[in-house]
Structure formats: structure tokens, C-alpha cells
Amino acid sequence: MRRRELAGFLRSLRERLRPEDVGLPRVGRRRVKGLRREEVAVAAGIGLTWYTRLETGSEINVSRDLLAKVTRALRCSPAERDAVMRLATEASPAHHEEVDDITRHVVDAVRLPAFVLDAHWYVRYWNQLFATVWLIDPPGSAPFHAIEYQVAHAREAGLQGSSWESRTHRMIAQFRHDAAAHAGEAGFDALVRRLSAIPAFDEVFRRREILASTDEVRSFVEHPQLGRFAYHIRSFNPPDSSLTLTVQVVEPGLVPRLLELAAARG
């Protein structure tokens, strides 16, 4: 599964490039989309046979140095290079650990919307402010999947307005980056199949676009009571944990109103 995923990802990277993008002349009529395999091999300074076996998912030994040459030839972004390296190694089994009492206390104590995400992107715990902003069940309710909520419910709720599509694309591209560590796990592959039954997810996921953290991205909420406001994401990983604690940082002036609304809603 991981070899097939790596092969498909490399093929998509190759197909988006032209010979001139990697300093090669365009010669003759082209019948393939993007670069030819031999052009990637030349640009990377590696053998065509080895690259062909890599892109067709053959069981071969690959070193980080050779993969680095391939990713440079394919003009990969840091996030894309990281995904290639992850897919070329063994899967990192997710630890489906419980959210401990200390982490719950931290989330509850934060005076901003905050939640805990596991390695498969299930929202495992959240505070009342997060529930108030996103109009979801109170803290302690059953976990839900972040992408599933975004593609199946966030649009209907109207909380992101015209930015829903761009926000959804960013989330799925970031999910694909993290997915490189878990492709081939039975539970994770079953999750991807379930999500792929949702057209809005499947359409974007098939593009194989990759993004790393979106912490720097400014996002917006169009809340029925708080109005339109912006937030930035800041994420933290507790030591020796597969969980991620994420805080949605809003403007300080909004916090008193958010606290008041959360208290009334709670």
C-alpha cells in the first residue's frame, strides 16, 4: 500500500512539470503529460531503471540520498519532500491514546477555543469555547473526525461563508501530508475509504496536493452571534504523545464576548 501510494505521488509530481522546469530542452512531440521518466532520471542524476522501479512500486531498497536527488529533480516543496521520505519508510502506527486528565485541564483552562487531535485527525476533546464557535456538542461528547465535520457539516452550518472551499482544500492537503506516515495501516486505510465516499473530499484528495502546517494561515468564522472574525491556529505536541493540542487564537477584544456566550451556552 505504501509503495503504491509513493508511486502514485511521484507520478503526480512528474506530471506537473515541463522539461524547461528542470533545465532540459523540449525535444520532439510529447505524448505524455509532464516529464518523461527518463527526464526525471537525467535531472536527478540516477539510473532510469532504478527510477522506473521506484515509480512503479517495486520492492527495492532506497536510501535517503537517492530520494533526496529525486525530490530535488521534481522540485518538491519541503512538505512534499517530507511526504516522499515518509512513504518510503515503514508506517508509523498511531497510538490511540486517551486524552489524559492534565491535557483536559489545560484545554479547559485556555481562554480561547482549543481542542485535541489524534494522529488520524479525530477531535478527541475540546473546550466550551470551541463548542460555542463551531456550534457542536459540549466537551466530553463523542469524538468526531475533523475532515468529516469540515466537508459534511461546516458548509451546511455556514460558519465559513465563501472561504469554506479554500479552507477545505487546505485541510485535505494537510491531512494528505500527515497521511504519509500512516498509509498501509488497516484502520487508517479504512478511514480514507470512508472519507472518499464524500465527493467534496474525494475530489481534492485525488489531486495529491500536500501542505504542512497551516498555523500561519489566517482563517475566518462567520458566526451567527459573534459576527465575522479571524483566527490563527497554534499547535503543540505533548511530550511522548501522538496527540496534538490546537488553539484557535482570536483577537483579544473578542475574548470577553466569546467567554460570555460560552457561559450562557454551557
Q: How far is CA 190 from the centre of its chain?
A: 17
Q: Which pLDDT value is given to residue 259?
A: 96
Q: Which pLDDT value is given to residue 180?
A: 83
Identify whether 96 is part of a domain: no
Both 199 and 116 in a single domain?
A: yes
Examine the pLDDT at 196 and tell me if it is beyond 80: yes
Q: Which pLDDT value is given to residue 93?
A: 60
Examine the pLDDT at 247 and tell me if it is beyond 90: yes
Both 129 and 248 in a single domain?
A: yes
Examine the pLDDT at 221 and tell me if it is beyond 90: yes
List pLDDT tens digits, range 136-167: 999 999 999 999 999 878 888 889 988 899 88
- Cβ(230)–Cβ(163) below 8 Å: no
Q: How far is CA 263 from the centre of its chain?
A: 32
Q: Which pLDDT value is given to residue 136?
A: 94
Residue spans of alpha helices (H) in 110-185: 128-134, 146-149, 155-157, 164-179
C-alpha cell recorded at residue 67: 530520494
List pLDDT tens digits, range 118-141: 989 999 999 999 999 999 999 999
List pLDDT tens digits, range 14-60: 988 888 887 877 766 667 778 889 989 999 999 999 999 999 888 87
Q: Which pLDDT value is given to residue 95?
A: 55
Q: Which pLDDT value is given to residue 27?
A: 67
Identify whether 44 is part of a domain: yes
Both 109 and 235 in a single domain?
A: yes
Examine the pLDDT at 262 and tell me if it is beyond 80: yes
Considering only CA atoms, give the Rg of the chain: 21
The C-alpha atoms of residue 103 and residue 263 are separated, in whole angstroms, by 21
Q: What is the CATH number of the domain that holds 130?
A: 3.30.450.180
Last residue of a domain, one of 87, 119, 152: 87
Examine the pLDDT at 110 and tell me if it is beyond 80: yes
Both 61 and 162 in a single domain?
A: no
Residues of the domain holding 24 = 2-87
Both 147 and 231 in a single domain?
A: yes
Instruction: Give me the mean pLDDT over the 102-124 stretch.
Output: 95
- Chain mean pLDDT for the chain: 88
The C-alpha atoms of residue 4 and residue 57 are separated, in whole angstroms, by 5
**Which band of pLDDT confidence, cut at 50, 70 and 90, is reported for residue 92?**
low
Q: What is the DSSP letter of 151?
A: I
Q: What is the CATH number of the domain that holds 77?
A: 1.10.260.40
Identify whether 41 is part of a domain: yes
The C-alpha atoms of residue 91 and residue 93 are separated, in whole angstroms, by 6
Identify whether 93 is part of a domain: no
- pTM, two decimals, is 0.79
Task: Name the residue with higher pLDDT: 100 or 180.
Answer: 100
Q: Which pLDDT value is given to residue 121?
A: 94
Q: Which pLDDT value is given to residue 218?
A: 85
- Cβ(71)–Cβ(81) below 8 Å: yes
Identify whether 110 is part of a domain: yes
Would the CA dihedral through 178, 182, 187, 193 be positive or negative?
positive
Identify whether 124 is part of a domain: yes
Identify whether 105 is part of a domain: yes
Q: Which pLDDT value is given to residue 49?
A: 92
**Which residues pair with residue 123 across a beta bridge?**
117, 144
**Neighbouring residues of 40: CB distance < 8 A, sequence distance ≥ 6:** 14, 22, 51, 70, 73, 74
Both 251 and 119 in a single domain?
A: yes
The C-alpha atoms of residue 107 and residue 120 are separated, in whole angstroms, by 19
Number of domains in the chain: 2
The C-alpha atoms of residue 110 and residue 116 are separated, in whole angstroms, by 12
Examine the pLDDT at 173 and tell me if it is beyond 80: yes
Q: Which pLDDT value is given to residue 215?
A: 56
How many residues can be counted in the chain? 266
Q: Which pLDDT value is given to residue 4?
A: 85
Both 153 and 235 in a single domain?
A: yes
- Cβ(41)–Cβ(72) below 8 Å: no
Last residue of a domain, one of 87, 113, 137: 87
List pLDDT tens digits, range 202-219: 999 988 888 876 656 789
Both 83 and 106 in a single domain?
A: no
**Which band of pLDDT confidence, cut at 50, 70 and 90, is reported for residue 255?**
very high
Both 222 and 135 in a single domain?
A: yes
Last residue of a domain, one of 37, 54, 87: 87
133-to-84, 184, 264 alpha-carbon distances in Å? 36, 35, 13
Q: Which of 38, 51, 122, 47 is nearest to 84 (CA)?
A: 51
